[in-house]
Amino acid sequence: TDGSPYWLAVPAIGTILFACLSIAAIASAVVRTIEPGKKIGRKLLLRKQQAEVRAYIRYMTEKDREIISYLLHHNQKMFQADQDGGYAAPLIARGIIRIAAQHRQVLDLTRVPFAVPDHIWEVLEENRKEFPFKPPRGNEDSVHPWAMHWMVR
């Protein structure tokens, strides 16, 4: 108390130090809650998958195009098929179509739910002109393009 400048400097430095530590603790808690790294990583993964599908469209077989055109024409993101996916197996292998079952869901192996993920559906809709729909002839209207006749297996 003899007029030394340390009486003001030491408490000010302590205040600044503890304020910085408090801000760092709050920022750390916010980052752990929000997890920006996971969100950014997820977004990058989805964009990569979209780019892969865009690049693959020109290499699709006629059967692949027929399946996608049917789904786009009927605005149908989900369908049921045998557990192997039938003729949709190449699309499943590419990740364009995925099994849509939930963990511990009981399934009939002849009616497994499959779906086109939303981010892939966007790409397919953007390229709709690549998948012209050809209506089935005669009594083929009840046959889905991914369905494989049991005698073909």
Mean pLDDT, consecutive 10-residue stretches, the chain (153 aa), reads 74 93 94 87 96 96 95 95 94 96 90 96 96 79 79 78
pTM of the model: 0.75
The pLDDT of residue 150: 80
Q: Which amino acid does the sequence have at 44?
A: L
The pLDDT of residue 140: 57
Helix runs in 57-117, H state only: 62-73, 89-93
Query: Which DSSP category does 3 fall into?
Result: S
Distance CA 133, CA 75 (A): 12
The SS3 call for residue 59 is: helix
Query: Which DSSP category does 53 fall into?
Result: H
